[in-house]
Protein backbone atom coordinates (compact mmCIF):
# COMPACT_ATOMS: atom_id res chain seq x y z
CA UNK A 1 0.00 0.00 0.00
CA UNK A 2 1.39 3.37 -1.00
CA UNK A 3 1.93 6.16 1.52
CA UNK A 4 -1.00 8.08 -0.05
CA UNK A 5 -3.29 5.05 0.28
CA UNK A 6 -2.20 4.55 3.91
CA UNK A 7 -2.95 8.21 4.61
CA UNK A 8 -6.38 7.99 2.96
CA UNK A 9 -7.11 4.78 4.86
CA UNK A 10 -6.08 6.36 8.16
CA UNK A 11 -8.19 9.44 7.53
CA UNK A 12 -11.20 7.29 6.59
CA UNK A 13 -10.82 5.26 9.79
CA UNK A 14 -10.51 8.44 11.86
CA UNK A 15 -13.62 9.90 10.20
CA UNK A 16 -15.53 6.66 10.80
CA UNK A 17 -14.44 6.60 14.44
CA UNK A 18 -15.47 10.23 14.83
CA UNK A 19 -18.84 9.62 13.16
CA UNK A 20 -19.35 6.55 15.31
CA UNK A 21 -18.52 8.53 18.41
CA UNK A 22 -21.01 11.25 17.47
CA UNK A 23 -23.67 8.64 16.72
CA UNK A 24 -23.04 6.95 20.05
CA UNK A 25 -23.26 10.31 21.83
CA UNK A 26 -26.53 11.18 20.12
CA UNK A 27 -27.94 7.73 20.84
CA UNK A 28 -27.03 7.87 24.52
CA UNK A 29 -29.98 9.04 26.66
CA UNK A 30 -29.28 12.44 28.17
CA UNK A 31 -29.08 12.59 31.92
CA UNK A 32 -32.35 13.75 33.39
CA UNK A 33 -32.30 16.98 35.33
CA UNK A 34 -33.25 16.40 38.94
CA UNK A 35 -36.73 17.54 39.93
CA UNK A 36 -36.94 19.48 43.19
CA UNK A 37 -39.51 20.12 45.87
CA UNK A 38 -38.71 23.43 47.55
CA UNK A 39 -39.92 23.77 51.14
CA UNK A 40 -39.51 27.10 52.95
CA UNK A 41 -41.13 27.19 56.37
CA UNK A 42 -41.51 29.66 59.24
CA UNK A 43 -43.64 29.72 62.34
CA UNK A 44 -46.84 28.30 60.84
CA UNK A 45 -45.56 24.71 60.69
CA UNK A 46 -44.22 22.72 63.63
CA UNK A 47 -40.81 21.08 63.43
CA UNK A 48 -42.56 17.73 63.78
CA UNK A 49 -44.69 18.40 60.70
CA UNK A 50 -41.72 19.77 58.75
CA UNK A 51 -39.80 16.57 59.54
CA UNK A 52 -42.77 14.40 58.49
CA UNK A 53 -43.06 16.19 55.12
CA UNK A 54 -39.29 15.98 54.55
CA UNK A 55 -39.28 12.27 55.43
CA UNK A 56 -42.15 11.60 53.03
CA UNK A 57 -40.48 13.41 50.11
CA UNK A 58 -37.12 11.79 50.78
CA UNK A 59 -38.89 8.42 50.97
CA UNK A 60 -39.93 8.79 47.34
CA UNK A 61 -36.35 7.91 46.42
CA UNK A 62 -34.78 9.54 43.39
CA UNK A 63 -38.10 10.87 42.09
CA UNK A 64 -37.66 14.22 43.86
CA UNK A 65 -34.89 16.08 45.64
CA UNK A 66 -35.78 18.27 48.61
CA UNK A 67 -34.33 21.76 49.08
CA UNK A 68 -34.98 23.83 52.22
CA UNK A 69 -33.89 27.45 51.77
CA UNK A 70 -33.52 29.41 55.00
CA UNK A 71 -33.73 32.97 53.64
CA UNK A 72 -35.58 34.76 50.79
CA UNK A 73 -32.22 35.12 49.03
CA UNK A 74 -31.69 31.36 49.16
CA UNK A 75 -35.22 30.82 47.91
CA UNK A 76 -34.59 33.10 44.91
CA UNK A 77 -31.49 31.06 44.00
CA UNK A 78 -33.64 27.93 43.59
CA UNK A 79 -34.80 29.35 40.27
CA UNK A 80 -31.98 27.59 38.44
CA UNK A 81 -33.43 24.22 39.39
CA UNK A 82 -36.21 22.18 37.83
CA UNK A 83 -38.96 22.72 40.38
CA UNK A 84 -41.87 20.31 40.68
CA UNK A 85 -43.56 22.05 43.62
CA UNK A 86 -42.90 24.82 46.14
CA UNK A 87 -44.31 24.52 49.67
CA UNK A 88 -44.18 27.99 51.19
CA UNK A 89 -45.12 29.04 54.70
CA UNK A 90 -46.35 32.64 54.39
CA UNK A 91 -44.50 33.49 57.61
CA UNK A 92 -41.19 32.54 55.97
CA UNK A 93 -40.77 36.24 55.07
CA UNK A 94 -43.04 39.26 55.07
CA UNK A 95 -46.09 38.35 53.03
CA UNK A 96 -45.55 41.19 50.56
CA UNK A 97 -41.93 40.27 49.99
CA UNK A 98 -42.71 36.57 49.67
CA UNK A 99 -45.46 37.06 47.07
CA UNK A 100 -43.34 39.46 45.02
CA UNK A 101 -40.55 36.90 45.05
CA UNK A 102 -42.94 34.15 43.98
CA UNK A 103 -44.21 36.31 41.13
CA UNK A 104 -40.63 36.97 40.02
CA UNK A 105 -39.86 33.24 40.04
CA UNK A 106 -43.06 32.35 38.19
CA UNK A 107 -42.28 34.85 35.45
CA UNK A 108 -38.77 33.42 35.11
CA UNK A 109 -40.11 29.84 34.99
CA UNK A 110 -43.13 30.64 32.82
CA UNK A 111 -42.46 27.90 30.29
CA UNK A 112 -42.50 25.17 32.94
CA UNK A 113 -45.13 26.45 35.33
CA UNK A 114 -44.34 26.77 39.00
CA UNK A 115 -47.04 25.41 41.34
CA UNK A 116 -47.08 26.62 44.93
CA UNK A 117 -48.80 25.28 48.03
CA UNK A 118 -49.04 28.13 50.56
CA UNK A 119 -49.35 27.34 54.27
CA UNK A 120 -50.97 30.09 56.33
CA UNK A 121 -52.70 30.85 59.61
CA UNK A 122 -54.23 34.07 58.25
CA UNK A 123 -56.24 32.83 55.28
CA UNK A 124 -58.23 36.02 54.64
CA UNK A 125 -55.15 38.24 54.63
CA UNK A 126 -53.25 35.71 52.54
CA UNK A 127 -55.91 35.40 49.84
CA UNK A 128 -56.38 39.18 49.66
CA UNK A 129 -52.63 39.71 49.19
CA UNK A 130 -52.50 36.88 46.65
CA UNK A 131 -55.25 38.49 44.55
CA UNK A 132 -53.26 41.71 44.42
CA UNK A 133 -49.98 40.15 43.38
CA UNK A 134 -50.62 36.77 41.74
CA UNK A 135 -54.18 36.74 40.44
CA UNK A 136 -53.17 35.63 36.93
CA UNK A 137 -51.24 32.63 38.28
CA UNK A 138 -54.01 31.07 40.33
CA UNK A 139 -54.59 27.96 38.22
CA UNK A 140 -51.68 25.99 39.66
CA UNK A 141 -51.51 27.43 43.16
CA UNK A 142 -53.32 26.36 46.31
CA UNK A 143 -53.29 27.17 50.01
CA UNK A 144 -53.98 25.41 53.29
CA UNK A 145 -55.30 27.18 56.38
CA UNK A 146 -53.19 25.71 59.17
CA UNK A 147 -55.68 26.60 61.91
CA UNK A 148 -57.09 23.39 63.28
CA UNK A 149 -55.22 21.26 60.74
CA UNK A 150 -53.62 18.04 61.98
CA UNK A 151 -50.44 16.39 60.76
CA UNK A 152 -52.32 13.73 58.79
CA UNK A 153 -54.35 16.28 56.83
CA UNK A 154 -51.27 18.43 56.17
CA UNK A 155 -49.33 15.50 54.78
CA UNK A 156 -52.32 14.42 52.68
CA UNK A 157 -52.50 17.89 51.10
CA UNK A 158 -48.78 17.83 50.33
CA UNK A 159 -49.20 14.43 48.62
CA UNK A 160 -52.14 15.80 46.64
CA UNK A 161 -50.17 18.84 45.51
CA UNK A 162 -47.29 16.65 44.37
CA UNK A 163 -49.65 14.48 42.35
CA UNK A 164 -51.72 17.20 40.69
CA UNK A 165 -49.06 19.80 39.87
CA UNK A 166 -49.33 19.15 36.11
CA UNK A 167 -52.66 20.78 35.54
CA UNK A 168 -53.21 23.59 33.08
CA UNK A 169 -50.31 25.98 33.47
CA UNK A 170 -52.49 29.06 33.92
CA UNK A 171 -56.16 29.89 34.17
CA UNK A 172 -57.98 31.19 31.11
CA UNK A 173 -60.25 34.21 31.44
CA UNK A 174 -63.17 34.91 29.11
CA UNK A 175 -62.65 38.29 27.46
CA UNK A 176 -63.44 40.19 24.28
CA UNK A 177 -60.37 41.97 22.94
CA UNK A 178 -60.07 43.16 19.32
CA UNK A 179 -56.69 42.31 17.75
CA UNK A 180 -54.98 42.17 14.40
CA UNK A 181 -53.09 39.04 13.41
CA UNK A 182 -50.87 37.79 10.62
CA UNK A 183 -49.91 34.31 9.47
CA UNK A 184 -46.16 33.80 9.33
CA UNK A 185 -45.01 34.26 5.72
CA UNK A 186 -47.91 36.57 4.79
CA UNK A 187 -47.91 40.36 4.54
CA UNK A 188 -51.64 40.70 5.20
CA UNK A 189 -52.83 41.76 8.66
CA UNK A 190 -56.31 40.47 9.51
CA UNK A 191 -58.85 41.52 12.13
CA UNK A 192 -59.89 39.18 14.91
CA UNK A 193 -60.77 38.91 18.57
CA UNK A 194 -59.37 37.18 21.63
CA UNK A 195 -62.26 35.51 23.41
CA UNK A 196 -60.24 33.99 26.21
CA UNK A 197 -56.69 34.56 27.38
CA UNK A 198 -54.16 33.23 29.89
CA UNK A 199 -50.46 33.64 30.60
CA UNK A 200 -49.67 30.84 28.16
CA UNK A 201 -52.20 31.13 25.36
CA UNK A 202 -55.46 32.47 24.00
CA UNK A 203 -58.48 31.58 21.89
CA UNK A 204 -58.51 33.63 18.68
CA UNK A 205 -61.45 34.14 16.32
CA UNK A 206 -61.31 35.81 12.93
CA UNK A 207 -63.57 38.59 11.66
CA UNK A 208 -63.47 36.92 8.22
CA UNK A 209 -66.31 34.41 7.91
CA UNK A 210 -64.53 32.33 5.28
CA UNK A 211 -61.16 32.04 7.04
CA UNK A 212 -60.17 28.60 8.33
CA UNK A 213 -57.31 28.13 10.78
CA UNK A 214 -54.90 25.24 10.40
CA UNK A 215 -53.08 23.31 13.09
CA UNK A 216 -49.45 24.31 13.71
CA UNK A 217 -49.85 27.60 11.83
CA UNK A 218 -47.64 30.31 13.28
CA UNK A 219 -49.33 33.61 14.00
CA UNK A 220 -48.22 37.09 14.98
CA UNK A 221 -50.60 39.07 17.19
CA UNK A 222 -50.93 42.81 17.75
CA UNK A 223 -52.99 43.64 20.83
CA UNK A 224 -54.06 47.23 21.68
CA UNK A 225 -53.07 47.85 25.29
CA UNK A 226 -53.17 51.60 25.82
CA UNK A 227 -55.83 51.24 28.54
CA UNK A 228 -53.73 48.72 30.46
CA UNK A 229 -50.11 49.89 30.20
CA UNK A 230 -48.19 53.04 30.88
CA UNK A 231 -47.80 55.11 27.67
CA UNK A 232 -44.05 54.47 27.76
CA UNK A 233 -44.76 50.80 26.95
CA UNK A 234 -46.47 51.75 23.68
CA UNK A 235 -50.01 51.21 22.45
CA UNK A 236 -49.51 47.79 20.85
CA UNK A 237 -48.42 44.57 22.56
CA UNK A 238 -46.87 42.06 20.12
CA UNK A 239 -46.92 38.31 20.67
CA UNK A 240 -46.22 35.20 18.60
CA UNK A 241 -48.21 31.99 18.85
CA UNK A 242 -48.73 28.56 17.35
CA UNK A 243 -52.15 27.06 16.62
CA UNK A 244 -52.53 24.02 18.90
CA UNK A 245 -56.28 23.43 18.62
CA UNK A 246 -59.01 24.46 16.20
CA UNK A 247 -62.77 24.42 16.53
CA UNK A 248 -64.77 21.93 14.49
CA UNK A 249 -65.60 24.72 12.02
CA UNK A 250 -61.99 25.92 11.84
CA UNK A 251 -63.19 29.44 12.65
CA UNK A 252 -61.38 29.74 15.99
CA UNK A 253 -57.92 28.71 17.07
CA UNK A 254 -56.39 27.87 20.43
CA UNK A 255 -52.93 29.44 20.50
CA UNK A 256 -49.95 28.78 22.71
CA UNK A 257 -47.68 31.80 23.07
CA UNK A 258 -44.16 31.12 21.82
CA UNK A 259 -40.75 32.75 22.26
CA UNK A 260 -41.98 34.93 25.13
CA UNK A 261 -39.20 37.07 26.55
CA UNK A 262 -38.89 37.88 30.23
CA UNK A 263 -40.07 41.44 29.53
CA UNK A 264 -43.04 40.18 27.52
CA UNK A 265 -44.02 37.83 30.36
CA UNK A 266 -44.00 40.73 32.81
CA UNK A 267 -46.25 42.77 30.50
CA UNK A 268 -48.42 39.73 29.76
CA UNK A 269 -48.96 39.16 33.48
CA UNK A 270 -50.08 42.77 33.89
CA UNK A 271 -52.32 42.49 30.82
CA UNK A 272 -54.02 39.26 31.96
CA UNK A 273 -54.47 40.55 35.51
CA UNK A 274 -56.07 43.76 34.27
CA UNK A 275 -58.32 41.86 31.87
CA UNK A 276 -59.37 39.47 34.62
CA UNK A 277 -60.33 42.40 36.83
CA UNK A 278 -62.27 43.98 33.97
CA UNK A 279 -64.20 40.94 32.76
CA UNK A 280 -64.46 38.62 35.76
CA UNK A 281 -67.46 38.78 38.04
CA UNK A 282 -66.97 39.90 41.62
CA UNK A 283 -67.61 36.30 42.70
CA UNK A 284 -64.71 35.06 40.55
CA UNK A 285 -62.40 37.74 41.86
CA UNK A 286 -63.33 37.09 45.49
CA UNK A 287 -62.57 33.39 45.03
CA UNK A 288 -59.32 33.87 43.17
CA UNK A 289 -57.32 31.12 44.81
CA UNK A 290 -58.23 27.74 43.42
CA UNK A 291 -59.32 24.91 45.68
CA UNK A 292 -57.69 21.53 45.76
CA UNK A 293 -58.78 19.06 43.05
CA UNK A 294 -61.33 16.50 44.06
Distance CA 96, CA 103 (A): 11
Q: Indicate the number of domains in the chain.
A: 2
Distance CA 63, CA 55 (A): 13
220 in any annotated domain: yes
The domain that holds 54 is classified in CATH as: 3.40.50.2300
For residues 126 and 196, membership in a common domain is answered with no
DSSP state of 247: -
For residues 49 and 148, membership in a common domain is answered with yes
Terminal alpha carbon distance of the chain: 77
Predicted confidence at residue 10, as pLDDT, reads: 53
Q: Is 108 helix (H, G, I), strand (E, B) or coil?
A: helix
Cα-Cα-Cα-Cα torsion 287, 290, 293, 294, nearest 10 degrees, comes to: -10
Report the alpha-carbon angle 54-291-167, nearest 5. Answer: 75
pLDDT tens over the chain, length 294 residues: 555 555 555 555 554 454 445 444 444 444 557 899 999 999 999 999 999 999 999 998 888 999 999 999 999 999 999 999 999 999 999 999 999 999 999 888 876 778 999 999 998 888 888 888 887 776 678 888 898 788 988 998 898 888 876 455 567 788 889 999 999 999 999 999 999 898 889 999 999 988 889 888 999 999 998 888 888 888 999 999 999 888 766 788 999 999 888 888 888 888 888 887 776 654 444 444 333 232
Distance CA 261, CA 108 (A): 9
Domain that holds residue 215: 173-276
286 in any annotated domain: no
Contact criterion met (CB below 8 Å) for 181 and 222: yes
Residue 85 bridge partners (DSSP): 37
29 in any annotated domain: no
Predicted confidence at residue 170, as pLDDT, reads: 63
Domain boundary at 163, 187, 204, which? 163
Amino acid sequence: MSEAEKKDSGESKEAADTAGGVADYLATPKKKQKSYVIMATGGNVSEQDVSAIAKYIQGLGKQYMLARPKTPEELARQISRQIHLMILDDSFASRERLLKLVRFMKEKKAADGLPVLFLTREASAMTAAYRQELFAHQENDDYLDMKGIGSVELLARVKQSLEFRNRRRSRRFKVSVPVTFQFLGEDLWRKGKLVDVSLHGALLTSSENDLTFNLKSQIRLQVPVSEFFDPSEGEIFRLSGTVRRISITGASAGLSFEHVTERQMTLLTTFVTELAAKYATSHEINNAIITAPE
